[in-house]
Amino acid sequence: MLPAKPLAMLMSYQMWRALARKRPLILIALIFLLEIAVYLVLTRPLETLVRSLAGYAWVVGVLAP
């Protein structure tokens, strides 16, 4: 069994590796969602867009603080 310090180093390295693999996928997904948002804002009148998203406004209120 490994002592505490090398075990902690191994665990932190493995967590860093797992996150490093997921970062490109997260960035691609965020860019895709940003492009969809820009498309919706530019192609729909603002009033129609706001009315369609009004049901989800509570999510912003919960996550913002």
Kindly state whether residue 12 falls inside one of the protein's structural domains: no
56 in a structural domain: yes
The answer to whether 49 and 41 have CB atoms below 8 angstroms apart is yes
Does residue 16 lie within any of the structural domains? no
Cα 16 from Cα 23, distance rounded (Å): 11
Question: In which region does residue 13 sit, left (phi positive, over 0), alpha (psi from -120 to 50) or beta (all else)?
Answer: alpha
Q: Where are the alpha helices (DSSP H) in the chain?
A: 4-43, 46-53, 57-63
State pLDDT tens for residues 10-22.
Answer: 888 888 887 777 7
Q: How many domains does the chain have?
A: 1
43 found inside a domain: yes
Residue 63 belongs to a domain: yes
Residue 3 belongs to a domain: no
- pLDDT in the model for residue 1: 59
Q: What is the pLDDT of residue 36?
A: 86
Summary mean pLDDT of the chain:
79
Return the pLDDT at 52.
76
Range of the domain at 47: 24-65
Structure tokens at 30: 């965020």
CB–CB of 17/9 below 8 Å? no
Structure tokens at 38: 């820009």
Low-confidence residues of the chain: pLDDT under 50 = none
